[in-house]
Amino acid sequence: MTSTQANPGQEILADNCLTDSIAILDFGSQYSQLIARRVRETKTYSEMLPFSVSCEELKRLNPKGIILSGGPNSCYDEFAPKLDPAIWTMGLPILGVCYGMQLMAHDLGGTVEPGDVREYGRALLTITHHGKLFEGMESTLESWMSHGDSVTELPDGFEVIGRTLATAVAAIADEERGMYGVQFHPEVVHTRGGQQVLENFVVNVCGCTQSWTMDKYVDQAIAKVREQVGDKRILLALSGGVDSSTLAFLLHKAIGDKLTCMFIDQGFMRKNEPEWLVEKFAEFKIPVQFIKARERFISKLAGVTDPEQKRKIIGKEFIEVFDEESAKLGPFDYLAQGTLYPDVIESAGTRIDPKTGERIAVKIKSHHNVGGLPKNLQFKLVEPFAKLFKDEVRLLARELDVPEGIVVRHPFPGPGLAIRVVGEITKERLKTLREADWIIREEVKSHGLYRQVWQMFGILLPTLSVGVMGDQRTYMNQIVIRAVTSEDGMTADWARLPYDLLETISSRIVNEVPGINRVMYDVTSKPPATIEWE
């Protein structure tokens, strides 16, 4: 038996035939997944599909409308990513965003050329015709632009419905065919009213009934698990985070005692968390097999400093421990994981090389629970959340009556503190970070800001700095505080925390954690940085 992964595209969309859906064709924009998430905020299911999807496949999936994402290419390049031409004549409403609008204009008979002036960042959009797309909106809105090409000639049947000072054709429409294009990005928070633009397209233009809700998804997911698993047993890779914990509650509701939760204490959890996890699940009569493996994991990382190598070693060891322990507790046919949509996307993506037309893999970082599974792994995967965003999982958790302490828990990476201790991993360095991280979280909670921050944690740097303590020179470790606000982890902004809170945290860490003489605050957003440092 070999491991299998859930189809990340067409299968899921087809499974949601009971609700209206929007297909989002991805041309490589960094915001493509954000479009999908924003559409779901309208209570309409959305799914990312490759731009190369065929017209016949789209017909089979039966979406109510199509959104074409932005992308880094120029639509007039020889090897620019293109749609199946038949999609333009399907009769479905289509909204083109940035590159998607340019491709629409180009393919339907218009002209797209390099702009005299490139437009990046905020721009005031003047709406010249409201129609269905801009219905109920003010005559101007602050939009977010990111383009060097511009539409200079419209296809037949289209009219300009929006412009900026730098872009004469910033929004277009063919109302009769239900085709629209916007040069700006309505999906980003910088576009004021962008969510209404998307909702107008989804509801007013496509006629979606806004029937995608987590209470319905619970029933659907339980039914699918039962259908997939039958009377077989599932082994759950429980990390204690929101995702795997919610998955435990879902699976327990679906299959009861056929579920076995296994928590591997690899030595990289935060202070007191392993014990808290076991106690919390015991309260809800969900048994957890607690595997002590700290020495095993830490020994494998001796001398390792490269973050990708850390992740791969931890992932490999994680699977080996599971394989060994499941043999004692099994047999099991299925392995459950709390993989989320952003995990899948960040782990691997592709873009088109405009010079050669080749599809190039783009990887930001590996995730511990996505890919890399050995071919001889004796499990099939169960990943009910592989198409959900983090905020959707939290909504799902409340539907399942997961304890609020778990629901609001900040995201925590699978490799844990191993990728927050920058550089070599040792017991001493882990202990230092645990104590500093405990103070950070304790103070955030005491100031009543825990729920306002998406993530907040400490990072231990591999460098030392000079300081003065007790009138003596010190040469000690440095801690960086990382705090961000976000809705789904795909993009994030650094949190503007009160100075008195930062001062308290800094003072406590320096005074209470041996070996630390300097505390810093990370003021970088995502992008260009990632939330985690490694």
Catalytic status, residue 187: yes
Angle at 16 between CA 213 and CA 233, to 5 degrees: 90
Residue burial 65-84, b: 16+ Cβ < 10 Å; e: rest: bbbbbbbebbbeeeebbebb
**Alpha helix segments (H runs only) across 165-207:** 194-199
- Residue 28 — φ and ψ, nearest 5°? 100, 10
Which token pair is 449? Answer: 């800001």
Going across the sheet that includes 334-336, the strands are 288-292, 259-265, 234-238, 334-336, 380-382
The catalytic position among 98, 206, 208, 261 is 98
CA Rg value for the chain: 25
Distance, in Å, from the CA atom of 22 to the CA atom of 200, rounded to the nearest integer, reads: 13
Q: β-strand 472-485 against 455-469: which pairing, if any?
A: antiparallel
Handedness of CA 364, 366, 372, 377 (dihedral sign): negative
98 is catalytic: yes
d(CA 322, CA 335): 9
For every residue of 367-424, DSSP letters joined together read: -TTSS---TT-S-EEE-TTTT--HHHHHHHHHHTT--HHHHTPPP--TTGGGGTB-S-
Beta bridge partners of 236: 261, 336
Of the residues 47, 119, 187, 346, which is catalytic?
Answer: 187
Q: Check 106, 185, 252, 368 and give the catalytic one.
A: 185
CA 315 to mean position of chain CA atoms: 20
β-strand partners of 459: 480
Provide the pairing of β-strand 111-127 with 140-153.
antiparallel
Residues paired with 365 in a beta bridge: none
> Helix H segments across 230-306?
242-255, 273-283, 294-300
Beta bridge partners of 275: none
- Upper half-sphere CA count for residue 12 (Cβ side, 13 Å): 21
Which pair of structure tokens corresponds to residue 490? 């795909």
Query: Residue 137 region, left (φ>0) first, then alpha (ψ -120 to 50), else beta?
Result: beta
Query: Which amino acids are annotated catalytic?
Result: 98, 185, 187
